Amino acid sequence: MTLQNFISYGILPALSLATLLVFIRFLKGPSIIDRVISFDLMVIIGIGAIVAYSILTDQPTFLDIAMVVALIGFLSTVAFAYYLEKRNRND
């Protein structure tokens, strides 16, 4: 089994299934915290898919895109934590 076969038949279907399950949690999440955590996990799964596609197509420029997406996901998590801290102080 080659790396391309492993990515095509193992990694990408697993990432697709994980995306579906996390999206269901995103829709059903009872609180905003559940939704933000599931959105953060979808960003991480998306990064994994970008990296897998980069390896599959032998295009290392997609790794730069994955790094930018990771930075944006990190900053959104920090912004949400800041929002929660300010909201709890005002209550």
What's the CA angle centered on 61, arms 71 and 1, to 5 degrees? Answer: 105
Tokens representing 20 are 């579906």
Tokens representing 41 are 């996990």
Give the pLDDT score at 91.
65
Give the pLDDT score at 51.
96
pLDDT digits (tens, 9 = 90+) for 29-47: 898 889 999 999 999 999 9
Domain of 42, CATH number, reads 1.10.287
pTM here is 0.87
Which domain, by its residues, includes 9?
Answer: 3-90
Q: How many domains does the chain have?
A: 1
pLDDT digits (tens, 9 = 90+) for 5-31: 999 999 999 999 999 999 999 999 898
pLDDT digits (tens, 9 = 90+) for 46-65: 999 999 999 999 999 999 99
